Amino acid sequence: MKQIDLLAKVSSVIVAIVVIALFFKLENQRGNFYQYDDRKINLLQIKEIRGGIDYIITHKGDEYIELFQKHRLSLDEKNIHKVVSRLKEVYKSEYYSAELVAYMIFDDEKIELFHSKRYLKKVENYSVNEYLLKVLKSHGIDEYQYRNIETLKGKVFNDREKFLEEVTTVGKLKKDGWCEKNIPVLGLNENGIRFMNSIDIEDKERLLTEKEIEKIEDALFEALDKYESI
């Protein structure tokens, strides 16, 4: 009986050891895989893992060469603060476009961790500017007309027709097809024209707010946590 009891105890110990070994083996296997959607990536076969942030954030203050320029940063705390700071600067602008994505790259495979909405505020203000004056001068206005129109500099209009009416009246311009088509466009300024030409006129506005920026910041830090947990 003692031998049977001893054998039973030894068997129990062996079973327990096997169970524990299998448990740690399974846990180790789980730790070697990154799962997303319905796919798994074997981390043991991956040579390089990188995290990044791609963004296109542009606004009125950008130079022409900076309009809609794509930027790429590594995914870390410093760069998250940099992007958020840029958003806080942009949302106060007269017009802007902003979109960003945070991701991880396993060798050559890219996995998105966060993709923001596209925020857009269109150009809505018209004003007499140097570009408008330059084009009108090349179109044939005389010095008297030029000086009259120049007196409107600094005045901002948010109504297209009122702007057109004021410029043509003060400048003694014939309100023909060319003026009706081009003067309001020129009133957007050179960068404003390029901005509007770079978007689809049918695109709907989606405005940035402080609350939206906070949500983006939280999402970026959540993406960073996922990346750093690998």
Burial string for 55-80 (b: 16+ CB within 10 Å, else e) reads: bebbbbebeeeebeeeeebebeeebb
| CA–CA dist 111, 82 (Å, integer) | 22
Mean pLDDT, to the nearest integer, of 151-171?
96
Query: What integer pLDDT is reported at residue 26 of this predicted model?
Result: 37
pLDDT of 133 strictly over 80: yes
Going by pLDDT thresholds of 50, 70 and 90, the confidence category of residue 71 is very high
Based on the number of CB atoms within 10 Å of its own CB, is 82 exposed (0-12), middle (13-18) or buried (19 or more)?
A: middle
Mean pLDDT, to the nearest integer, of 113-140?
95
Going by pLDDT thresholds of 50, 70 and 90, the confidence category of residue 30 is very low
pLDDT of 14 strictly over 70: no
99: nearest Cα among 198, 225, 228, 230? 198
Least confident residue range of 38-42, 76-80, 147-151: 38-42
Query: What integer pLDDT is reported at residue 201 of this predicted model?
Result: 82
Q: Which is more confidently placed, 64 or 126?
A: 126
Least confident residue range of 9-23, 143-157, 161-175: 9-23
The tens digit of pLDDT for each residue in 107-122 reads 878 889 999 999 999 9
| CA–CA dist 120, 201 (Å, integer) | 11
Q: Which is more confidently placed, 5 or 178?
A: 178
Query: What integer pLDDT is reported at residue 108 of this predicted model?
Result: 78
Provide the residue ranges of all domains of the chain, joining segments of one domain with +. Answer: 2-31, 45-123+204-228, 126-187
Mean pLDDT, to the nearest integer, of 77-87?
97
Query: What integer pLDDT is reported at residue 5 of this predicted model?
Result: 52
Tell me the pTM.
0.76
Least confident residue range of 14-18, 100-104, 119-123, 171-175: 14-18
Query: What integer pLDDT is reported at residue 47 of this predicted model?
Result: 77
Query: What integer pLDDT is reported at residue 33 of this predicted model?
Result: 65
